[in-house]
Chain A
Amino acid sequence: MVYPPPMPADADDLRDRLATLESEHRDLDSTLARLAEQAPFDQLHIQRLKRRKLLLKDMIAQIEASLSGAASTAVRRDRSGLEARLQLLRDFAAYGLSWTSGAQAKISSASRATAEAFLRTLPDNKTLPKLSPDGEGGVMMVWEGNGRTLLVTADETVLHAVFAAATPDAVYLNDIPFDAAKTIPREILDAIPAATTAVPA
């Protein structure tokens, strides 16, 4: 598990971090261009680099938003975060993701489509979730924070939601169809945290 380093707090640190990320982003561009000219392609390697590039783009946009406080940048951040997550869903469907070697944990194409529609429907002012295959063909979408966890599972063409998951106050909403109207139920939408407001430097 490789995690991005924690975000530095002050503006100088943010600018340094931004420069580092932009440099890595340019390097990745060059590497991908070079790999594209070589045969045979190592598709897994290329996909990993592309995903890293999307993540970098997301992190760069977040820092730019923090430095400028511009709402338009915050929206751009959400868009690149969305693209990175859609790519993850495609990879979950094609290759699976398990944290143990014995399992593959692919998601079904219907669950992928439902999760993708959910993410695309989510308004820009809402936080995007963390994602995982649930191990049974579905997609777990998780929002954590303030001790309250919202868990929404895309299971074929339906959603299952657990509000305040894993607490004594948990509330369950099961078998919500999401194949026709593709409208996120109000209860779920209200429980999703708002995207962090950009803080001026």
Chain B
Amino acid sequence: MTPVEHIPDGDAIFRLVDFPRMYDGAGDLLWENVFQFPGGKPESVVWSRYAPAADEVHRIGCAREEAVRRRNPGMRYVGFLPSTAGAVRSIGTRAGHGFSVVHEPAEGMYHAHIHYRPNNGRPANQLNRGEKNELKLALRQVFLGLQPHSCA
């Protein structure tokens, strides 16, 4: 079993971003809710320790695009958003909620998960919708702009 490593606060993490072609042209009307935590599940990021260069991150994104486009031809990888583990862990909303960042090697050595970290150890499913969506907004704010890429 692959050991789970600690991700230091200073390490970069990257969020791969896909975008369906059908929404091209609507960009100005969309709020980029890049982290949706569907059903409360964690969101995936790439840990820079195992994919330090932009080319490597894009390669992971393009491999995923190739797999996904067999069933969804309109979806394509458009780049990644960079941040650090520390920036994500430093989020604390007025309601006291935040995030944890953990290595998830079972899904690939570069793989990490961002989880909700509710205050006072409350279960994540007890967060109300406003609290969760504020967390998504705060999380998007600590990621920088898109490093664009188009898979050839």
Contacts and interface: CB of A to CB of B under 8 A. Distances in A.
Interface of A: 1-4, 44-45, 47-48, 51-52, 55, 81, 84-85, 88, 91, 95, 97-103, 105, 129-136, 138, 140, 142, 149, 151, 153, 155, 160-162, 165-175
B134 interface: yes
A37 to B, nearest CB: 22
A44 B136 contact: no
Interface of B: 16-34, 36-39, 43-44, 64-65, 68, 72, 74-75, 78, 91, 93-95, 128-134, 136-138, 141, 146
B31 A170 contact: no
Contacts of B128: 160, 174-175
A72 B126 CA distance: 47
Nearest to B76: A101
Nearest to B74: A44
A44 B22 CA distance: 6
B64 A101 contact: yes
Contact of B22 (A85, A95, A129, A155): A95
9 contacts: A2-B24, A48-B24, A95-B20, A136-B36, A161-B130, A172-B130, A172-B131, A174-B128, A174-B129
A28 to B, nearest CB: 10
Contact of A151 (B95, B137, B146): B137
A59 B62 CA distance: 33
Given A99-B18, A151-B134, A85 B95 contact: no
Nearest to B40: A136
B133 A160 contact: yes
Given A55-B26, A136-B38, A166-B93, A1 B133 contact: no
Contacts of B20: 95, 97
Given A2-B25, A48-B24, A174 B64 contact: no
Contacts of B146: 1
B33 to A, nearest CB: 4
B18 to A, nearest CB: 5
A120 to B, nearest CB: 16
